[in-house]
Chains A and B, each alone.
Chain A
Amino acid sequence: MASYLVKRLGLAVVTLVLLSMIIFLAGQVLPGDPGRAVLGNFASAQSVRVFDHRIGYDRPFVTQYWSWVSGIVRGNFGISYQYNSPVAPMIFSGLWNSLKLALLALCIIVPLSIGAGVLAALNVGRPLDRIISILGLSGSTVPEFVSGIFVIVIFAVVFKLLPPTADSGAGAGFFTQLDHLVLPAIPLVVEFFGYISRITRATTVEALDSDYVRTAVLKGLRRRTVIRRHVLRNSLLPAITVIASQTGYLIGGLVVIETLFQYPGIGDLIYNAAKNKDFPMLEAGVLAIGVIYLLATLAADLASSLLNPRVRIDATR
């Protein structure tokens, strides 16, 4: 198990290195230059050149990449061009805010869509199954910014049940924060419900159709026992793995939601950094999301290998 973990972590590091190269390259090929973006359209060409030289933008690509990477290894993520202050604290606070929103969304998404998926599977072909899959599908096809505006109008403007902005200000208590975060979480739930419930439905149907469930039913076990012990145990595992792999998408979805709800999360930071060609911020932000994504997948794989004896054996070999 330990060697499996080491192997997986090694692979994760390789992935991160590749990711950093791609981000860096992408930053370079974006049109325009940071000096112009930061100083504005009316700045002289001379001051733009001076700015670019100060941040090292005029050096060769490889040199820039190397100094960036060696900085990261030492814990220095660079200085934001926009704010002229270190990137790291801003990234961490943004990440923390985003995690709060993402966790709240997950807490709603996971039980809701797994429950619905299992329910649909147990009623395959019946109206309930159809209703769940139609709801899910229509939810996934609506973009977050549409459903986001929709919930703002309904819950915040018309009924005034919840605040329209996500940011609850500094020092707000737990429930105040929760109150502010529920509304932005809803579009994410709508977006992900369809996919996760569909996956859960598929794995559960597969388990229901399996020979071992037939064995269990023909043994004379009660339906409840069959479902709990023989169906769910085997069908939820793959579903969990899929959910973890969706974390990346979830954070991608956050970019739109955070902008819409004016929430100072990592998505908001990345969006602004990209707009303003603030490379250190952009690169560190994307890298941070990469790390989160890798950790989530790793956690899912570990969880599934702990729960599934076959994978566990293979992993220890």
Chain B
Amino acid sequence: MSSASGAAPPGRPGRHVAGPVEPDALAVEGLQVSYRVGGRDLLALRDVSLRVGPRQAYGLVGESGSGKSTVALAVTRYLARNGRVSGGTISVAGTDVLALRGERLRRLRAETVSMVYQEPGKALNPSIRVGRQLAEVFEIAGARRREALAAAEDALTRVQISDPRRLLERYPHELSGGMLQRVVIAMALASEPSLLILDEPTTALDATVEAEVLDLVSSLREELDTSILFISHNLAVIAKMCDRVGVLYAGELVEEGSASEVFTEPRHPYTVGLLSCIPRRGLRKDHGRLDTIPGFLPAPGSVLAGCIFAPRCGLVEAQCRLSEPPLAELGNYRRSRCYFPGRALEVGSRGAGPGEPAEAPAGRPPVGARAPLLGLRQVSKSFSARHEQLHALVGIDLEIGSGETLGLVGESGSGKTTLARAVLGLSAPDEGSTIELNGVPLAGSAGRRTGDQLAAVQIVFQNPDSALNRRHSVRRILRRALARSAGPRGMDREERLAELIGSVRMEPRQLGLRPAQLSGGLKQRVAIARAFAGEPALVVCDEPTSALDVSVQAAILNLLVELQARRNVSYLFISHDLGVVRYLADRIAVLYLGRLMEVGPAEAVFSGPQHPYTEALLSAVPSLDGQRRGRIRLTGEIPSAASPPSGCVFHTRCPRRLASGICESAEPPLLEVAAGRTMRCHIPLDELAQLQREPPAEAPAVPGASANGSSPL
């Protein structure tokens, strides 16, 4: 273990068993993987070496295209048909994986290595009951059919599923994402593998569910002797879950070290860039622009003479472009592929750092003083399924001022998208609902709104891939949007097009391209340009950055802030990422089961006291900042909107439910509790403040993460 090149550092202290040295759970040496595309071999991983010691959790972070999933697939020998390991070695628990064939490979998969991946809904066979699929694992290990089913039931109990017997009879599509991911985890852990690979296991889940699943993994890790390779784009999740971290960029490991050190004292400019483009530490748009990483990921297979990050690096020197820096040992099991690891942190202070004030604040009237642009009064929306009435929105009263950003948050199923669709006129609200724009009532469906009203309310969708017609060029997409609006006089079409594309920081020469030729970030810029073509008063942004990498997200958020400052447009901003909402929003509205739980100025809502639901949402988010408050956990699933709970709809999951029983019997009204803040809770604001200062008694200390202090940053 003392060889200089990339030995795994000791695992968690105090857990070493005396006796013969255990082999690393995973040892990857000089791994090269290439994909054959169009007759050429494109390198997806170059010379990747990493070790995961026994009982260690190793986090692999990187943006899309960095090759992090390729590592996982190479380890399990499940590369796509055109993928090939072209160099290096992989050994799992001492076994050379690349040499295995047929039966021995199957045994390795059955006994030693397990994998959980991103979309739990797709990971299970849709036409076989959950119980059968889980039981298979035990049958492989030699159990009889009936024993296997019993073992499956036990396995479900272990992942904290309350009614395992009933669950065994279900088909995958009958379960929620969180439940499915538990089943998949139970399945992966059933064989008590030496190595568990988690590939973005919570990316497709709600923050509250994500928190539950992460807690589950942490506690199972304590129980079992399993090492973890945790792959994620989410730095905060990695920081919470892992002992060690490796940062992948364009198929190369650029930095490695203990989680606490890498995230506090990064030694590679790319890590620094990644960390600084996340909106955090309570950063708001008035404080300044977000940092971005300029440029793009190099095309797969491109060959650079020097450092692979040099084209995007703020610290680049002549040497960096000439020869590639080695992955240098920095001591204390830290490695960095940079010639100037000590200077990496300077990147943040160069360029557009947080010191530079955004152009936004100048001349903006304070929140509350703005004239209301959009007014929602008693907006309800119900859908009728065959036997039941489903209330997706119930009596929503909300205003958005002009030039204001209203952040709309809540779990999936809370009604965020229904509200957005009602505002856009895509689905008409129920009778008796009023939606006003500048004091003029809007028709329920878009078809009956006037052209000006339609132009005034626009949308930017989550996924720019499906939102843009891929057969049309950017020019045609934007020209159609412009044709519907009058626009300033005296400008011909080409001028307006050029101005529009310029406003989203793109070049006129990109007008000729089709969406497929643009990166995700550029596509989203086109979608934003399209929304702004008709000089809208309100733009509904439905998770506009969720499908993008963090470095791209920062640039898009900067663009949205800039456009708002210049055009005084209002945003209805829907996002599950509370850091993003905090950065962008002036006010926040919290939805639960179609009801507003809380509305107020963003800073007041975030700094608290909050509605217990808001509190739960906030404490579910793993943070890099280490401002760990008393975490409260939501348990159970969001109830069905067809049969909402009695009284306060949140009482079934509320950790601060009152003993008096009033929460179960009476629904609290949405009352003004402070200037500009309304809340729907039986507990008075000052009592909530009191409660939230002290951590709740039942809040479990988070095992695993706190054991070696990987989290406080």
Contact = CB atoms under 8 A, between A and B. Distances in A.
Contacts of A307: 127
A211 B136 contact: no
B127 A218 contact: no
**Size range of the chain B interface in the assembly:** 20 to 34
Contact of B106 (A220, A229, A237, A310): A220
B109 A219 contact: yes
Given A219-B137, A219-B140, A219-B187, A211 B81 contact: no
Interface stretch (B110-118, B250-258, B600-608): B110-118
B187 A211 contact: no
Interface string B117-151: 10100111111100001001100100000000000
Contacts of A212: 122-126
B81 A125 contact: yes
B386 interface: yes
Contact of A214 (B78, B114, B140, B386): B78
A218 B107 contact: no
Given A214-B78, A218-B115, A233 B125 contact: yes
B76 interface: yes
Contact of B119 (A211, A218, A309, A317): A211
A215 B123 contact: yes
Contacts of B76: 218
Contacts of A216: 125, 136
Nearest to A314: B173
Nearest to A205: B81
B126 A219 contact: no
A220 B126 contact: no
A310 B184 CA distance: 19
Interface string B84-126: 0000000000000000000000111111011101010011111
A124 interface: yes
B173 A310 contact: yes
Nearest to B111: A220
A237 B115 CA distance: 28
Of the listed residues A210, A217, A220, the one surrounded by the most CB atoms of chain B closer than 10 A to its CB is A220
Given A210-B122, A219-B136, A309 B171 contact: yes
Contacts of B126: 212, 234, 308-310
Interface residues of A, number: 25
Given A221-B136, A310-B171, A215 B111 contact: no
Interface in A92-117: none
A211 B123 CA distance: 5
A222 interface: yes
Nearest to B73: A214
A239 to B, nearest CB: 14
Contacts of B113: 218
B113 to A, nearest CB: 8
A117 B104 CA distance: 29
Interface in A118-151: 124-125
A215 B128 CA distance: 13
A142 B458 CA distance: 54
Nearest to A237: B127
A230 interface: yes
Contacts of B187: 215, 219
Contacts of B386: 317
Contacts of A313: 171, 173-174
A15 B423 CA distance: 40
A233 B136 contact: no
A178 B386 CA distance: 52
B110 A230 contact: no
B119 A221 contact: no
Contact of A217 (B109, B111, B122, B137): B109
A220 B122 CA distance: 18
Nearest to B190: A219
Nearest to B122: A211
Contacts of B78: 214, 217-218
Nearest to A222: B106
Contacts of A222: 106
Contacts of A234: 125-127
B110 A219 contact: yes
Contacts of A230: 125, 128
A309 B140 CA distance: 25
Contacts of B109: 217-220
B682 to A, nearest CB: 37
A19 to B, nearest CB: 31
A304 to B, nearest CB: 11
B140 A221 contact: yes
A230 B140 CA distance: 15
B173 A309 contact: yes
B692 to A, nearest CB: 41
B140 A211 contact: no
A234 B107 CA distance: 25
Contacts of B81: 124-125
Contacts of B173: 309-310, 313
A233 B184 contact: no
Nearest to B118: A211
A289 B76 CA distance: 53
A315 B416 CA distance: 29
Contacts of B110: 219-221
Interface string A227-241: 001100110010000
Contacts of A310: 126-127, 171, 173
Contacts of A221: 106, 110, 136, 140
Contacts of A217: 78, 109
A56 B140 CA distance: 75
B149 to A, nearest CB: 16
A220 B184 CA distance: 14
A229 B125 CA distance: 9
Interface in B443-473: none
Of the listed residues A211, A212, A215, the one surrounded by the most CB atoms of chain B closer than 10 A to its CB is A215
Contacts of B184: 215
Contacts of A210: 122
A309 B115 CA distance: 26
B127 A309 contact: yes
A204 to B, nearest CB: 14
Interface in A281-307: 307
A216 B114 CA distance: 11
A217 B125 CA distance: 12
A214 to B, nearest CB: 6
B673 to A, nearest CB: 42
Interface string B581-611: 0000000000000000000000000000000
A228 to B, nearest CB: 12
Nearest to A223: B106
Nearest to B170: A309
Interface string B186-229: 01000100000000000000000000000000000000000000
A162 B128 CA distance: 47
Contacts of A214: 78, 117, 123
B124 A215 contact: yes
Contacts of B122: 210-212
A221 B191 CA distance: 13
Interface in B358-385: 385
Nearest to A229: B128
25 contacts: A124-B81, A125-B81, A211-B122, A211-B123, A212-B123, A212-B124, A212-B125, A219-B136, A219-B187, A220-B108, A220-B109, A220-B110, A220-B137, A229-B128, A230-B125, A233-B128, A234-B126, A234-B127, A237-B127, A307-B127, A309-B126, A309-B173, A310-B173, A313-B171, A317-B386
Interface of A: 124-125, 210-212, 214-222, 229-230, 233-234, 237, 307-310, 313, 317
Question: Top 8 nearest A-B pairs by Cβ distance?
Answer: A220-B110, A211-B122, A220-B109, A212-B125, A309-B171, A211-B123, A215-B123, A220-B140
Given A215-B124, A309-B173, 16 more contacts: A210-B122, A211-B122, A212-B124, A214-B117, A215-B125, A215-B133, A216-B125, A220-B107, A221-B106, A221-B110, A229-B125, A233-B125, A234-B126, A309-B127, A313-B174, A317-B385
